[in-house]
């Protein structure tokens, strides 16, 4: 996996990158993801959050905290954009 550099991509590209990662974990098309819909409505659980974190660490080549109590994809993206 080639590392992705957050500082080298736009916020739109970073949003799309996270959406693709979440869609792959959920086994859903990216087009079905709504940024404001509760992630639990998609069946996204704590094990999936760990899987996402592990994928992001690999792609971003950095250590990341596991998100806690993030309700929407928009909140998840904002969380990882800051960390």
- What is the CB-side half-sphere exposure of residue 32 using CA atoms within 13 A? 10
Instruction: Give the list of residues 6+ apart from residue 11 with CB closer than 8 angstroms, or none.
Output: 81
To 5 degrees, how large is the angle CA 30–CA 32–CA 38?
Answer: 105
Amino acid 11: pLDDT: 82
Q: At what angle do helices 73-82 and 11-26 cross, to 10 degrees?
A: 120
From first to last of the 83 residues of the chain, give the pLDDT tens digit. 445 555 667 888 888 999 999 999 999 999 999 999 999 999 998 899 899 999 988 888 888 887 777 689 998 888 888 77
Amino acid 22: pLDDT: 95
What pTM did the predictor assign?
Answer: 0.83
């Amino acid at each position: 996996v080639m590392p992705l550099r957050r500082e080298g991509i736009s916020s739109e590209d970073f949003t799309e990158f996270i959406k693709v990662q979440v869609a792959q974990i959920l086994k859903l098309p990216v087009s079905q993801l709504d940024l404001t819909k509760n992630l639990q409505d998609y069946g996204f659980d704590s094990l999936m959050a760990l899987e996402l974190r592990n994928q992001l660490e690999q792609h971003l080549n950095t250590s990341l905290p596991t998100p806690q109590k993030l309700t929407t994809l928009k909140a998840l993206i904002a969380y990882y954009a800051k960390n």
